[in-house]
Amino acid sequence: MTADAVWIADFKTGAGAMRREYAAQLAIYRAAVTSMFPGVEVRAFVLWIDSGKFEELDAMTLQEAYQDWSRGVLDSISPS
């Protein structure tokens, strides 16, 4: 964390291929952290343990993943 940004990361094993659920997971973390640090940029990364590389998810990807996730949650609790 700096005065300008908070970095969040999730550690993953395997081939280092981004999957939709990883983006959704980080989007949920980002939403929670953003509410704790209003006005501060929150950056999200996946750190691939097997390769030692990291991958940053851009804000648009995270926003879309969060919207997809929240629609799924709302659909699951809406009466049929």
- Looking at residue 75, what is its pLDDT? 63
Q: Are 45 and 57 in contact (CB under 8 A)?
A: yes
Three-state DSSP at 76 gives helix
pTM of the full structure: 0.80
Q: Where are the alpha helices (DSSP H) in the chain?
A: 20-36, 59-77
In eight-state DSSP terms, residue 41 is E
Q: What is the pLDDT of residues 26-60, one digit of tens each?
A: 999 999 999 999 999 999 999 999 999 999 999 99
- Looking at residue 36, what is its pLDDT? 94
- Looking at residue 59, what is its pLDDT? 92
